[in-house]
Structure 1
Amino acid sequence: MKEYRSKEIYGDFYENKSKTLVVIIGGSRPGLPSQLSDKLFQYLKVNYNVLLLGYFGVGELYNSLENVQVEYFINAIELIKEEYKMNDNQVVIIGQSKGGEAALVLANYMKSAITIALVASCYVFQGLPSDLFSIDKMEPKSSWSFNNEELPYIKFDFNKDDIEDAKRNYFCKIHEKSIEKNYNKDAMINIDNYKGKVLFISAEKDCYWPSKKMSDFLIENSNNKNNMRHISLDVEGHYLLKYEESVNEIISYLENDKSNLV
């Protein structure tokens, strides 16, 4: 395993004889992706090159999940591709939660063969400050930026009761209310021109945001439906990089496409 610890790339890279690179992007926890099942991790290490990529809250990276530069992801992945001589059809992006949102955004800016969006959003949402529960005192910013311009986003709408719900790890009401009251059509992630395949896996009982509804909405409003598949699982929680049901679906999907990734 090789550690990268710079402002250009913060990640752990596991080299394999395979040429295909799997990039894993975690959610709103700072640092490297966490809550990754041993079964999935071992499968990926045996069959692929694997990059666990952090993008905020650690090392020289951004302190908060606000205006994170899309270029950071592109350049980090390009660095690995160039160093290990990989091409565009040998990249798989797997993102969970905010990382799923990032993975879908990236489909507009770089080539890859497969994007797997776990409990993802179909919108760019307002970014998250380093102290999440100070969000009512902070100036709102987008989660992502490109060319130093923030991407259009949906601003949060919440009251004190919503904040108390969030402290109990129930964030869904804030997101649903924000979509209803602060809808911004430009914040919807458009992947119509993406040439790769997309797998959405959502949770029926997602308490963080309405991932099933948002995955359905993106597919219904896309001109790229033929390249998309959505699996909704009857699970609670939000950590689909860890749950057996979702891990089995990820492995099955990758196995079916393995011949196209070599």
Structure 2
Amino acid sequence: MEQYRSNEIYADFYENGGKPLAVIMSGSRPGLPANISDDLLNYLKWNFNLLLLAYYGIGDLPKSLEMVPMEYFTKAINFIKEKHNVPDNKVIIIGQSKGGEAALVLTNYMKSAITIACVPSSYVFQGLPEDLFRIYEAQPKASWSFNNKELPYIKFNIDEAAMDDAKNNNFCRCHEISIEKNFNPDAVINIDAYKGKVLLISSGNDSYWPSKNMCNTLVKNSKNKDNIKHISLNLEGHSFLKYDESVKEIINYLKANVR
């Protein structure tokens, strides 16, 4: 295993010569991807070059999940691709939650064969400051940027009830109200130009945000519906790289679609 610890790439890399490249990006937990099941990790290490990519909150990366550059993802992934001679059509991007949002946005900035987005967003949302519970005091910023400019985003609409829910780890109300009251059509993630395949895995019981409805929105808006598969599971929680049922869907999809 190789460790990269710079502001250009902060990651753990497991080499598997001649195999495709799988990239994992986790959610709003800072640092390297965590809460990944042993079954998924072992499958990926055996069948892929595996890159576990951090994008904020550790080392010299941005301290908060705000204005994270899309260029960081493209440069980090391209570095591994070029070093290990992996072509675009052998790259699989796997993102969970905010990492799923990033993975879908990334389809507009780089080529890959497959994007798997677990409990993702269909919008770019406002970013998250270091102290989440002081978000109402912070200057709003987008989660992502490109060319040093923030991507269009949906600002949070935060009221007392939403903050009370958040203290109980239920952020869904905040996202739903924000979509309703601060809708920004330019913040809708567009994956029409993406030539690869997309797997969306959502939850009807998602307490973080309405991932099932948002995945339905992605499918409805897409002009490439034949390339998209949406699976909705009745799972509690948000760690879809860990739960047996969602991990099984990911592995089965990769077995069917990666040669």
Using the size of structure 1 for normalisation, the TM-score is 0.98
Q: Is contact 2:19-2:47 (8 Å) kept?
A: no
- Equivalent residue, structure 2, for 1:5: 5
1:195 and 2:212 correspond: no
- Equivalent residue, structure 2, for 1:243: 243
Q: For the residues of structure 1 that align with 2:224 and 2:150, how far apart are their CA atoms?
A: 25
1:147 and 2:168 correspond: no
Q: Is contact 1:18-1:47 (8 Å) kept?
A: no
Q: For the residues of structure 1 that align with 2:163 and 2:42, how far apart are their CA atoms?
A: 38
- Equivalent residue, structure 2, for 1:30: 30
- Equivalent residue, structure 2, for 1:78: 78
- Equivalent residue, structure 2, for 1:223: 223
Q: Quote how far apart the aligned CAs of 1:17 are.
A: 2.4
1:176 and 2:176 correspond: yes
Q: Is contact 2:121-2:215 (8 Å) kept?
A: yes
Q: For the residues of structure 2 that align with 1:217 and 1:85, how far apart are their CA atoms?
A: 36
> Secondary structure at 1:39's aligned position in 2?
helix
Q: For the residues of structure 2 that align with 1:95 and 1:221, how far apart are their CA atoms?
A: 20
Can you list the C-alpha shifts for 1:29-88, whole angstroms capped at 9, x where unaligned? 000011100000000000000000000000000000000000000000000011111110
Q: Quote how far apart the aligned CAs of 1:167 are.
A: 1.2
- Equivalent residue, structure 2, for 1:54: 54
1:97 and 2:97 correspond: yes
Unaligned runs of 5+ in 2: none
Q: For the residues of structure 2 that align with 1:115 and 1:230, how far apart are their CA atoms?
A: 12
Q: Quote how far apart the aligned CAs of 1:160 are.
A: 1.7
> Secondary structure at 2:204's aligned position in 1?
strand
- Equivalent residue, structure 2, for 1:120: 120
Question: What is the aligned length?
Answer: 259
Q: Cα RMSD over matched residues?
A: 0.6
2:132 maps to amino acid: L
Percent identical residues: 63
1:39 and 2:39 correspond: yes
Q: For the residues of structure 2 that align with 1:254 and 1:179, how far apart are their CA atoms?
A: 32
Q: For the residues of structure 2 that align with 1:247 and 1:162, how far apart are their CA atoms?
A: 31
2:37 maps to amino acid: S
Q: For the residues of structure 2 that align with 1:53 and 1:126, how far apart are their CA atoms?
A: 21
Which 4+ stretches in 1 moved above 2 angstroms?
Answer: none
Q: Is contact 1:26-1:97 (8 Å) kept?
A: yes
Q: Is contact 1:96-1:119 (8 Å) kept?
A: yes
1:210 and 2:214 correspond: no
Q: For the residues of structure 2 that align with 1:204 and 1:212, how far apart are their CA atoms?
A: 6
Q: Which of 76-85 and 13-22 deviates more?
A: 13-22
Q: Is contact 1:70-1:144 (8 Å) kept?
A: yes
Q: Is contact 1:11-1:54 (8 Å) kept?
A: yes
> Secondary structure at 1:102's aligned position in 2?
helix
